[in-house]
Structure 1
Amino acid sequence: MTPLGAVALFAAGIWAGGINAVVGSGSLITFPTMLALGFPPVVANVCNTIGLVPGSLTGAIGYRAELKGQRDRLLRLGVAALISSLIGGMLLLYLPPGAFNVVVPVLIGVACVLVVVQPRLNRWLRARREHPRPDGGPWLWLGVFGAGIYGGYFGAAQGVLFIGLLGSFLDDGLQRINAAKNVLSLVVNAAAAVLFIMVAEVDWLAILMVALGSTIGGFLGAKVGRKLPAPVLRGFIVCVGIAAIIKLVYG
């Protein structure tokens, strides 16, 4: 990799880390950058997942105030994210590269719809729940499990999926939901990263450049994201989700 390529990955990492902290979809920046630099798709995906872990960590730390009182909920949902991310990572290594080309845009589209209708859907669900569950119940656990498989497989826009799910099943504010999303994304990325380091081909220089950039971006993204009003954040999430669909469908 040339010095210019290293700088490009570092810059892409900053932008991706910031986007991931606010909503998710940072992989739509770093992954194409790696492809443009000549990395094979699977190697690029593996290196991208590993490199974005530090940014996921700084993004989660940046939202630590919003994480107060969510430990039990995140421990339960984190188990689903951990197990499913390993399944998704194995699918990446052993399934044909185009296996999810149709499913992924559909999932992101559904997540965007959930984000838009979340306030009304939340009220509707709350009115019909006799005993509201702070952890979202079994359907949220299964939803996180499914999103974790996707995150371990590719990861782009997994944040949109998580926010759509958490916002629909949890009676909580959007910023606290975003904080929970950051933790679940960290679990997914970290678990998949460990798997990839053990069994996949990696390029450590590329990983280092993305990691350095995403660390800075995650910190900056958290500072910005925490100040956004809920309607603005919701609109930003939907815009990123639509951009992700367009990018995945039309390249």
Structure 2
Amino acid sequence: MSPLEMVVVALAGVFAGGINTVVGSGTLVAFPALLAVGYPPVVANVSNSLGLAPGSLSGAYGYRDELRGQHGRVRRLLPASLAGAVTGASLLLVLPADAFSAIVPVLILVALVLVAAQPFLVRRLASRPERRHEHGGLLLWTGVLLGGVYGGYFGAAQGVLLLGLMGVLVPEERLQRMNALKNLLVAMVNLTAGIVFVFVAHVAWTAVLLLGAGSVVGGQIGARVGRRLPPAALRAVIVVVGVAAVVKLNL
């Protein structure tokens, strides 16, 4: 990569780390950035998953106060995330590269719909009856498992998906506590998939290091000032970047 391209990837990591912490869908920034500097789609996806893992951990640490008292939920849901991540990463490696190139535009469009629908999902939270399991029950466990599969395979908007599921299925009034739990689960999905990729896939280590450094900074920024940022503006940026990625992949 040229110096300018390295700066672009690092800045994409900062932005993606911040968005992942606040909303989710940072992959829709980092993945197109890696495509733009010339990486093939599968290599870009593998490097993106590994590179954004430190940022997700950084964001989870920034939300550590909101995680207090949620150890029971973590113990129940984390195994589902880990199993899903291994399955999704394995699918990425087993399926042919052509299949990934064909599937990713569809996954991005689905992710964009989830990003745009997030306000509706959050509003639905208030209208749900309070007959919900403290830890979300089997339905949430299954949803987290499938979210881990999706995250291990591609990952864009897995955080939005988890927030929507937890918002509907868990009796928790404070959305920030659900966001903290989401950050931890997404971090472990990215890290687990990344570990799988280290041993059996081609990793662009320069991109990983640049994304990782940027995403750590972005994760802290997102945790500190995320509540002050206008969510509508963030969603608009994500949608624009995601549409650009779909266009690029289909050229």
For Structure 1 versus Structure 2, the TM-score category normalised by the shorter chain is 0.7 to 0.9
TM-score normalised by the chain length of structure 1: 0.87
Instruction: Work out the CA distance in 1 between the residues paired with 2:140 and 2:241.
Output: 23
Instruction: Work out the CA distance in 2 between the residues paired with 1:24 and 1:99.
Output: 20
SS at match of 2:199: helix
TM-score normalised by the chain length of structure 2: 0.87
Corresponding residue for residue 41 of structure 1: 41
Corresponding residue for residue 23 of structure 1: 23
Instruction: Work out the CA distance in 2 between the residues paired with 1:243 and 1:237.
Output: 10
Corresponding residue for residue 208 of structure 2: 207
Residue pairs, 1:109-128, within 5 angstroms: 109=113, 112-113=116-117, 115-126=119-130
Corresponding residue for residue 66 of structure 1: 66
SS at match of 2:161: helix
- The one-letter code matched in structure 2 to 1:60 is A
Cα displacement string for residues 163-184 of structure 1 (whole angstroms, at most 9, x for unaligned residues): 1111111121111111111001
Task: Percent identity, please.
Answer: 46
1:24 is displaced (CA, Å) by 1.1
Instruction: Work out the CA distance in 2 between the residues paired with 1:209 and 1:16.
Output: 12
1:19 is displaced (CA, Å) by 0.6
Corresponding residue for residue 219 of structure 1: 220
Q: Is the 8 A contact 1:115 1:238 kept in 2?
A: no
Q: Label 1:187 to 1:9 Cα distance change in 2 as closer, same or farther (>3 A).
A: same
Instruction: Work out the CA distance in 2 between the residues paired with 1:226 and 1:195.
Output: 34
Q: Label 1:136 to 1:103 Cα distance change in 2 as closer, same or farther (>3 A).
A: same
1:36 is displaced (CA, Å) by 1.2
Q: Label 1:241 to 1:142 Cα distance change in 2 as closer, same or farther (>3 A).
A: farther
Corresponding residue for residue 183 of structure 1: 184
Instruction: Work out the CA distance in 2 between the residues paired with 1:5 and 1:244.
Output: 17
Q: Is the 8 A contact 1:43 1:201 kept in 2?
A: yes
Q: Is the 8 A contact 2:128 2:168 kept in 1?
A: no
- The one-letter code matched in structure 2 to 1:200 is A
Large movers: runs of 4+ above 4 Å: 235-245, 247-251
Q: Is the 8 A contact 1:63 1:226 kept in 2?
A: no
1:187 is displaced (CA, Å) by 1.0
Corresponding residue for residue 144 of structure 1: 144
Flag structure 1 segments of 5+ consecutive residues without an equivalent. none
Q: Is the 8 A contact 2:84 2:146 kept in 1?
A: yes
Q: Label 1:32 to 1:112 Cα distance change in 2 as closer, same or farther (>3 A).
A: closer
Instruction: Work out the CA distance in 1 between the residues paired with 2:139 and 2:66.
Output: 23
